[in-house]
Amino acid sequence: MKKIIEGRRIPIKMWLDEIEESCMEQALNLSSLPFAYKHVALMPDAHTGMGMPIGGVLATKGVVIPNAVGVDIGCGMCAVKTSLHADDLKKRDLEELVMKIKQQIPLGFERHKQPVDKKYLPKGYKINDLPVVKSQSDLLLLQLGTLGGGNHFIEFQKTKENEVWVMIHSGSRNLGHTVAEHYNKEAEQWCKSQNLDFLPQLAFLPIETDLAKKYLAEMNFCIDFAFANRKLMMECVKTLLIQKFPMVKFDEMINIAHNYAAWENHFGKKVIVHRKGATRAFKDELGIIPGSQGTKSYIVKGLGNPESFMSCSHGAGRTMSRRAAQRNLDLNYEIAKMDKKGIVHGIRRKSDLDEASSAYKNIDEVMENQKDLVTPLVELFPMAVVKG
């Protein structure tokens, strides 16, 4: 932990030195909430979000806050170690794999032209009990197994020993956004109906209400849908690798989410922990912390630090907005930086600069700032990246 700030009601514990003024204001707002528990935790990748900082962890007593989870419910990472050696993958092989991934996995706002098999949907849910999910049922099978846009990616990576890994970052697509927007509006209306004050973008629902129970049920479906989404894309990538390297083997997939709320026990009390752009890091739990495009990523083991509510960062964290990056970064410099490392990438236009590494924090500093939260197990270097 780097510092503790006196909040408006409870403290703010920070794993970073520098923070945007707007991000700090959001953290102070969280610290003023009457139902916020113990302290607010800001991970080393924290930056301004909607209502709550991305890279923030908030525990609450008896309420859930939809915007403290965010609009991409269940967004997260998965990673698989392969039996391939980095020397097996020449640049032309990586370029071919990237091309085939782009042909088979819809990117950005694109979706499948034909629905995928229903067997890939999350099991154990009754869709009729999930009104927002049900309203999106015609789209689910068209969006399952699609990457999305923004900072989502599929990346081929290697270790210092030249072991090859595949890593994917994606979420619940339009489904999670629709669920989040719906219940944030419901929370606002409920608070107003009860004549309760709430901070902008931080409307809440008491856990005993039917609305809160419905939100948590639909949120959990979105988490599982996001996992199914990543898993289906990983199967596609594995199939492409098998076609090229028939003898390739794969280890068990590691999967983590970083946008959700869950009941957990902390400091002797059962509370709802909201992680918005934060990864759970229970004792000895495996996690994934990606860098920015063109920089290192990490497989980590959690240390179970109670002060962070057993959490860690979900990535490097932005230092500038997407528009600022497109406006201020040098396209030729960012391309040259990737080319110099021999990375197969897709930076071609000014519009691509929103995801350039210069728009993000230094992943080495981020990892150094959370050495009391996680232990790095595997250091991964990018070989080729497909961006949404």
What lies within 8 Å, CB to CB, of 232 at 6+ separation is: 116, 120, 144, 145
d(CA 77, CA 286): 12
What pTM was computed for the model? 0.96
pLDDT in the model for residue 154: 98
For all residues of the chain together, what is the average pLDDT?
A: 97
Q: Which residue has the tokens 């099991």?
A: 123
H or E, element range at 183: helix 173-193
Mean pLDDT of 306-310: 98
Q: Which of 39, 47, 314, 345 is catalytic?
A: 314
**72-97: average pLDDT:** 97
Is it the case that residue 69 has pLDDT exceeding 90?
Answer: yes
Residue 237 CA: distances (Å) to CA of 5, 56, 108, 197, 276:
45, 32, 18, 49, 28
CA angle 362, 309, 296 (to 5 degrees): 20
Question: What is the percentage of the chain residues whose pLDDT exceeds 90?
Answer: 99
Question: What DSSP string runs through 300-334?
Answer: EEE---GGGTSEEESSS-BSS-HHHHHHHS-HHHH
- Percent of the chain past pLDDT 70, that is, above it, reads 100
CA atoms of 187 and 199, how far apart (whole Å) = 12
> Which pLDDT score is estimated for 388?
83
d(CA 133, CA 281): 29
Can you state the angle between helices 210-244 and 91-104, rounded to 10 degrees?
A: 140
pLDDT at 248 over 90: yes
314 carries an active-site annotation: yes
Each residue's pLDDT tens digit, 176-223: 999 999 999 999 999 999 999 999 899 999 999 999 999 999 999 999
Residue 38 has φ and ψ, to the nearest 5°, of 65, -70
Q: What are phi and psi of 287, to 5 degrees?
A: -140, 175
Query: Nearest 5°: phi and psi at 182?
Result: -60, -50
Beta strands 76-85 and 163-170: pairing type? antiparallel
Residue labelled with tokens 């199914």: 228
- Domains in the chain (CATH in brackets) are 3-319+360-387 (3.90.1860.10)
Look at residue 334 and tell me whether its pLDDT is greater than 90: yes
Residue recorded with tokens 């990346």: 155
Strand-pair partners of 379: 298
> What's the mean pLDDT in 118-143?
95
Give the residue carrying structure tokens 């890939």: 120
Of 226, 229, 255, the closest CA to residue 166 belongs to 255
The burial of 138, by beta-carbon neighbours within 10 Å (0-12 exposed, 13-18 middle, 19 or more buried), is given as exposed
Of 369, 324, 321, nearest to 18 by C-alpha is: 369
Q: What is the dihedral of CA 41, 46, 48, 51, to 10 degrees?
A: -30
- pLDDT of 152 over the 90 cut: yes
Which amino acid, residue 300? Answer: V
For 116-125, what is each residue's pLDDT tens digit?
999 999 999 9
HSE on the CB side for 46, CA within 13 Å? 32
What pLDDT, on a 0 to 100 scale, did the predictor assign at position 177?
97
Residue whose token pair is 């690798």: 241
pLDDT band of residue 329 (cuts 50, 70, 90) is very high
CA distance 52 to 41: 11
